[in-house]
Amino acid sequence: MKTVKLTAETRKDILNTLLKRSPNNYGQYEATVAEIVGNVRENGNKAVFEYTKKFDKWDINENNIRVTDAEIDEAFSKTDTEFVEVIKRAVANIDAFHRKQLHNSWIDTKPDGSILGQKILPLAVSGVYIPGGKAAYPSSVLMNVIPAKVAGVKKIIMTTPAGPDGKVNAGTLVAAKIAGVNEIYKIGGAQAIAAMAFGTESIPKVDKITGPGNIFVALAKKACFGYVGIDSIAGPSEILVIADETANSRYVAADLLSQAEHDELASSILITTSETLAKEVVAQIDGFLQELSRSEIIKASLEQYGYILLADSMDDAVEAANAIASEHLEILTKDPFNVMTKIENAGAIFIGEYSSEPLGDYYAGPNHILPTNGTARFFSPLNVDDFMKKTSIISYSREALERDHKDIELFANKEGLSAHANSIKVRFE
C-alpha cells in the first residue's frame, strides 16, 4: 500500500489510475460481447444453451433452465435456520428504508381550467442478475429485488449461473424466495443479460436489468441499454476512509481490507491528517494479512490500487474525497458529522467508528448497489425510483390556452416549426 503526500499532482495521478479500472476501458472485450448479444437476440434459447454448456459446463435445456419449487425447498433444507432468520431481518430493514423513497402521482388544478400532473407507475417486469461461480451474493439479491417490490413491480425474474451440476447456490435461492422473486433461471454471463433484454422461448423480456457482474456482464448491459433499461455499468468495488489522529488504526485497517478482498481491481484509500495513524494502519494491515482467507487477492489489490494519502488539513482531505467520489466513504474523525456536511460526491457515507462499510453491504437498509469509478458525481444508489416510470399529464381549457397561445406560436416559429405553431393557431381562427 503506497503512502504519498496529498498534492494536486498526486491526486490527479491517483484519479487517472483509478479510472483505468472502469469497464469503459475494456474495449478489447466489446466485440466478443457484441457477438454473444447478437447471437442470443437472433437465436434465443439455442444460443443461450450453447454458451451455458461452453462456459458453465452443464447440460442445460428448456426443461431444466428454470429453478423449480423443489430446488428452492432443497436450498432451504441446506441453509441453517439462523442464516434464514438473519436474511429476514435484513429484508425488514431494507424494506423499511426503501419505503421512505416512495412518491405518489399528483394533479395540480388552476382556476383557469388548466390541469398539470404526473402519473407514477411501476415497471411491469424487472430483471435481476446475480453472479455465481466462485462466490455467492445473497445480499445482492435483496438489494436488487426489494426496491423493485416496494415500487410495485408485479413480475421479477432473476438469472444466475449454476455450477457444473446444474445447481444454484442455496443461499442465493433462499434470499430470492424470501425477497419475492417470481422466476429464477440458471444462466449467467453476457448471454443472461441478452436473454433478459430481448427475451427467448424460455425467458421473458424485461423492462430493466439491475445487478452486478464481471466485465462481460457489465459490457453486455452497456450493449443492451436502449433496448432495455439498466441500473449502471458498475466497476470494481472501492472504499475511501477519511481519518484523523482520533481514529482507531485497527478499525481503519480492517475497513480498508473489507473492500480489497473483493478482487484484484478493488481500490482502498485512506486520507489522513496524521502521519502516526498512517504508520499504525500499515502495521495493522500487515497483521491482518497473516490471518485473512483472501490475503493473496488483498495484497494484489493493495499493491495496485491501495493508497494512504497524507493531507495537510481536513479541508484538503475533503477536497480530495470529493474529487475521487468513492463508492463507499467512511468518516472516522473527531467531528465526523461536520466533515459529512462538506462531502458532495460519494455513493454511501458511513459516519463514526461503529458504522463500518459491511453494515451497509448487508443489513442497515440503504442500498449497496452504488456508483463506482467516480460516477457518484452524477449517479445515485439503486433506489425505488429506478423501478418507477413517470408520465406527464397536461390538460388546458380554451381560456387557459388563449392566454398563452401567442407565446407558444412565437416559440414554434422561432424554431422553424410552422406546423407546431399552426396546431395552436387553428384553435383561435
- List pLDDT tens digits, range 268-312: 999 999 999 999 999 999 999 999 989 999 999 999 889 999 999
| Residue 103 is among the residues annotated as catalytic for this protein | no
- The 10s digit of each residue's pLDDT in 185-223 is 999 999 999 999 999 999 999 999 999 888 899 999 999
Q: What's the rounded mean pLDDT across residues 327-347?
A: 96
Residue 133 is predicted with a pLDDT of 65
Choose, from 71, 238, 319, 328, the residue flagged as catalytic: 328
Distances (CA, A) of 93 to 90, 121, 233, 317: 5, 24, 26, 32
Catalytic residue among 71, 238, 319, 327: 327
Does residue 328 have an active-site annotation? Answer: yes
What's the confidence (pLDDT) of residue 268? 93
CB 18 within 8 A of CB 211: no
pLDDT above 70: residue 329: yes
Buried b or exposed e, range 212-246, using 16+ CB within 10 angstroms: bbbbbbbbbbbbbeeebbbbbbbbbbbbbbbbbee
What is residue 20's predicted lDDT score, i.e. its pLDDT?
A: 75
